[in-house]
A and B are shown apart, each in its own frame.
Chain A
Amino acid sequence: MNTFFGMIPSILMIVSPILITAVGGMICEKSGVVNIALEGLMGVGACAAAAAHVLMEAAGVGLPSIWISLAIGALIGVAFSVIHAFASISLNANQTISGTGINLLADGATIFAAQILFSADRTREFRMGMQTDSLGIYPTAYIALVVVVLAWFMLYKLPFGMHLRACGEHPHAADSVGINVKRIRYIAVLISGLLAGLAGGCIVLTQTIQYTSNTINGRGFIALAAVSFGRWRPVGVTFAAFLFGTAQAFAIIANNFPALKALPTEVFNILPYIITLIALVGFSGRNYAPQANGKVYVKGAS
């Protein structure tokens, strides 16, 4: 057991970005827009944060560099999510196609940027990433906690959240009482971009020393799975992110446990996906997703 408690900081390190992204994805879907571009948005955020940090480190910015880089990652996430918002909200585009496009685009854009900035297919290595506190926990864990609590408060306590959820359940009802559905959906998509970008930055600054095409490696999709598995509710999504993140962590740290050594690490990698599939089969027939999720909203046509 001792070893397990020793693993908690590592688990939190891995869970945090997944949770942050999943909360963004949840907010986005609660407003009625499916965002399968989370993976790509994490990628651009991670790449931007890594690149910004390397450059600022070289310029001698010092300690604030980490935080500025995180902010830049988040902003780049927002910038790319604008594409998704514009396509799926303003132009009634198919949300799955638009999300797929952004994922492909992010693959190219990140490495292209690295090629231009560093003449390599990855960003240059930075010397010092984010530092842990006295408990060995990265600040990203606290960021994730704040994000979850704020999201819950916003969705269930503030008028804005009540409007946002109405847009995802019955946009025509929201529209008929004067709520601007498109505006709210824009905000929701941009929030998901912000959080995914931020989470990308968190990954790159805590778990590695540079951005490569393998940095995100499906964690955006795990976050997407966490949204479904968590039944589109903050508590559920948090639980799902912890479960999936822990499974991911075990893929890395299973070697510390003699009992688990015999298992191929891939087993842990697969777990989140399998669990989600089984859960979705179990949910069969009952619909937990927001009713208007993924559907184009055309004013007047009801």
Chain B
Amino acid sequence: MLKTERRGSFMGRMLASEGAVSVLVVLLGFLVGTILVALVGKNPLNMYKAILQALSGYNIDNGKMNVRYIGETLNYAVPFILCGLSMAFAARAGLFNIGGEGQYIVGLTVAQMVALLGPQIPVFHWVLALAGATVIGALWGGLVGVLKAKFEVSEVVSTIMLNYVALYVSRMVCLRLPGATTYKTANFPESALLTNGFFQSITNGSMLNHGFFLMLAAVVIYWFIMEKTNLGFGLRATGFNRETARCSGIPVVKSIAVSMAIAGAFAGLAGGIVALGSFRYGRVLSGMDNYGFNGIAVALVGNSTALGTMLAGLLFGMLKNAQALMQGKQIPKEITFIIQGLIVVFIALRSAIAMYLDWRSKRQLQREVLGK
């Protein structure tokens, strides 16, 4: 959106840098959140104490350190980052994937199915479950791509529709899994869990699990596909200018379907990791987990780059981990949702910066012309 090269002041250069703008947007979100907390008569300091503890494990009130919090923050960050990559991957190909939530849900559902019904062979069991989650996510996302490419159905509308289809299909399936009640299934067998003993031991028994490695791998894969391969080149060209891409012989229909499928795979994997890493039983969802929707925010803050998305995902993971700590300090945990929402709204306002920079360069030119 912004031109990369801008002459002029420090301010101008900062506003022209996407990374700096993201930081600014996040700070603004926190600033407004802080003011809101203060306005309702709570102490914002408590909010930041909770955030500090979620980030570093350090409890400033009693001076105690508990590394478990770091582990939990990382664990919470995993689905945020993966859903962020999902949104980002589609965005780089010019698509707006609001369907991360649905892709996440189908992934979660299949992982739960495989966990409860699959062969209980150590390692193979959870690998199979996650592979299933990834594949179904890819199919769910790829369907959107096909609808878009073949039938010109806006991906914004179709992904929204498919999110709810996913939710209710998931309910139908999970209600029929072994030991299902209205809200949960039987416990998963040990072989389906992503438990990682080493992580547990170094993070004082947090839920951090194998999913963390997979997330790191996904970040690297994302970067590699986008920047180093000709597949990524074609996708980026399609994303920036679909018509030129088509005219240049790039198979656009395939590109769109492939990018939505890969996007769906990331979100599906996220669903699988949450299902088998953070719970010991299958859940019958009654509503959205919102990882998919927040993934949109994560990708936007991270400017759809691999590193940026990872950092933004860590931020969101930290906020989620801080929620319980905030409740303990009388700060309503929903403030974190508000901050996340504000961040997205402020990102939308980013276009104002482009307008401002245009206005400024025009002013400068005007002065030069009239000064003659």
The listed residue (A112, A224, A285) touching B334 by CB distance below 8 A is: A112
* A101 & B287 in contact (Cβ 8 Å cutoff): no
Given known pairs A269-B164, A273-B164, the reply for A101 and B341 (CB within 8 Å) is: yes
Contact status of A111 and B334, CB under 8 A, knowing A96-B96, A264-B175: yes
Give the contacts of B152-178 with A (CB-CB under 8 A): 152-154, 156-158, 160-165, 167-169, 171-172, 175
Chain B contacts of A264 at CB under 8 A? 171-172, 175
CB contacts (< 8 Å) of A267 on chain B: these are: 168, 172
Give CA–CA (A213, B172) in the complex, Å.
22
Q: Tell me which residues across on chain B come within 8 A of A91, comparing CB atoms.
A: 348-349, 351-352, 355
Interface string of B160-198 (1 = CB under 8 A from A): 111111011101100100000000000000000000000
- B255 adjacent to chain A (CB < 8 Å): no
Q: Which of A94, A104, A121, A225 contacts B294 (CB 8 A)?
A: A104
How many angstroms between the C-alpha atoms of A276 and B316 in the bound complex? 33
Q: Report yes or no: A270 in contact with B152, Cβ–Cβ below 8 A.
A: no
What is the interface of chain A mostly: helix, strand, loop, or mixed?
Answer: helix
Q: Does B245 contact A (CB under 8 A)?
A: no
Tell me how many residues of B have a C-beta within 8 Å of chain A: 55
Known: A92-B351, A104-B297. A112 touches B332 (CB 8 A): yes
B21 → chain A closest CB, angstroms: 13
Bound Cα distance A277, B343 (Å)? 31
Instruction: Determine chain B's interface SS by DSSP, over half rule.
Output: helix
Question: With an 8 A cutoff between CB atoms, is A280 at the interface?
Answer: yes
Q: Quick check: B153 and A281 within 8 Å, CB to CB?
A: yes
Pairwise interchain contact A94-B162, C-beta atoms closer than 8 A: no
- List B contacts of A285 (CB < 8 A): 151-152
A143 within 8 A of B: no
Cα A285 to Cα B343 in complex, Å, equals 36
Given A214-B286, A264-B175, A266-B169, A277 and B345 contact (CB-CB distance below 8 Å): no
The 3 lowest CB-CB distance pairs between A and B, nearest first, are A108-B337, A105-B341, A101-B344
Which residues of chain B have a CB within 8 Å of any CB of chain A? 36, 40, 96, 98, 147, 150-154, 156-158, 160-165, 167-169, 171-172, 175, 286-287, 290, 293-294, 296-297, 300, 332, 334-352, 354-355
